[in-house]
Amino acid sequence: GALSVPRRHTSYFSQTEYRVHELNKRLQQRTEESDNCWWDSFATEFFEDDATLTLTFCLEDGPKRYTIGRTLIPRYFRSIFEGGVTELYFHMKHTKESFHNTSITLDCEQCTMVTHHGKPMFTKVAQQIVCTEGRLILEFMYDDYMRIKSWHMAVRAHKELIPRNVVGDAHTFTSTRSWILEQLTKNITRQGITNSTLNYLRLCVILEPMQELMSRHKAYALSPRDCLKTTLFQKWQRMVAPPGKRDTQRPANKRRKRKGSNSGGAANNAPPVPSKKRSPGPNFSLASQDVMVVGEPSLMGGEFGDEDERLITRLENTQYDAANSLEHDNHGGFHADSPMTGPNSWNVDRGGPQGNTPSSQDSEKKSPAVSQ
């Protein structure tokens, strides 16, 4: 019979874990010559434009929590390597995935951030390894790019590992033995985070609220004082505006609104009116006319409210009677039984001559119609 070939068990590797694996590979490609452009492309590849990164840990003076936005994320990873780290990768065990409408959440209770530290100052240690243990929660957008929208690392503990041969070599130096051992007992990180990264996170507390000011200055070339004024004014507008008003105001202004269309429903049943322009009669009222509302243009991203809307109306000479002009021009195509005809308020003597009489000249001046 045929020999049965044992099949290898295919290990399950989710798409979110593969993205973390790609992130580790990209960090390994970093060199000493990697500049800001390299870190910006790194953040663009793995993080959404509105992504946030949160770190929580506990120091000697109490618990700390830092949250930075997308523009500050590249500098955060760069600060890790500026603190003497030569290699960085994340190792995850027992991950859990949860699917949502537009995102996938990867929850790892046993995540270890491993950093390899080079030769520190005043010691003869060739390399130290720091393992920062904690819980890592990543929220990926469920699309073709699978970029990170939210990064949350909660640090629980950390370990600093020193090679055994370095401790053995310290005993061979009799003159500097105590000094070297004292240096080896000192931690090179605080809760697994280097001093350069801690200083940068403290600086981000100031930089994060200023992102809007800096982006406005870059876009409009305004002075810092003007940027602050416009930003505060827009924030004040959002606070004063009723809830939900900003969401409903903008779509309503995209198309002109016609008010009073229901009140003029009786006029819709009237016979068709000739295309010639005529003025409203003496009983003209705004309630029976169509009123159009036009939205105000936006200023620096802000929007105006209903109290700033302007009413556009059409007002013409109310003392002018259009029926007189229509009867006067009856010979041009209108009949006597036309719905446009009415009582002649000017009492023009039709039997008189149509020459240059004062009454005929008067009516011709006041009538906008053109004689045929």
Q: In the prediction, which pLDDT does 174 show? A: 58
List the one residue out of 275, 286, 276 whose CA is nearest residue 314: 286
- SS3 sequence of 62-115: EEEEEEECHHHHHHHHHHHHHCCEEEEEEEEEEEEEEECCCEEEEEEEEEEEEE
Of 55 and 166, the one with more pLDDT? 55
SS3 assignment, position 138: strand
The confidence band for 208, taking pLDDT boundaries of 50, 70 and 90, is confident
In contact, 130 and 138? CB cutoff 8 Å: no
Q: What residue spans of the chain are helical by DSSP H?
A: 15-28, 36-46, 73-82, 164-170, 177-185, 195-207, 211-220, 224-240, 245-252, 322-328, 358-366
Token pair listed for 150? 């939210």
The confidence band for 269, taking pLDDT boundaries of 50, 70 and 90, is low
Q: What are the structural domain ranges in the chain? A: 15-163
Report d(CA 68, CA 209) in Å as an integer. Answer: 10
Instruction: Work out whether the CA dihedral 179, 180, 181, 182 comes out positive or negative.
Output: positive
List the one residue out of 69, 319, 354 whose CA is nearest residue 214: 69
Topology of the domain comprising 15-163: Nuclear Transport Factor 2; Chain: A, (3.10.450)
- Whether 86 shows a pLDDT value over 80: the answer reads yes
293-345 pLDDT, tens digit each: 555 555 555 555 555 555 666 666 666 665 555 555 555 444 445 444 455 54
The confidence band for 72, taking pLDDT boundaries of 50, 70 and 90, is very high
Backbone angles phi, psi at 219, to 5 degrees: -80, -40
Maximum mean pLDDT: which of 50-54, 213-217, 336-340: 50-54
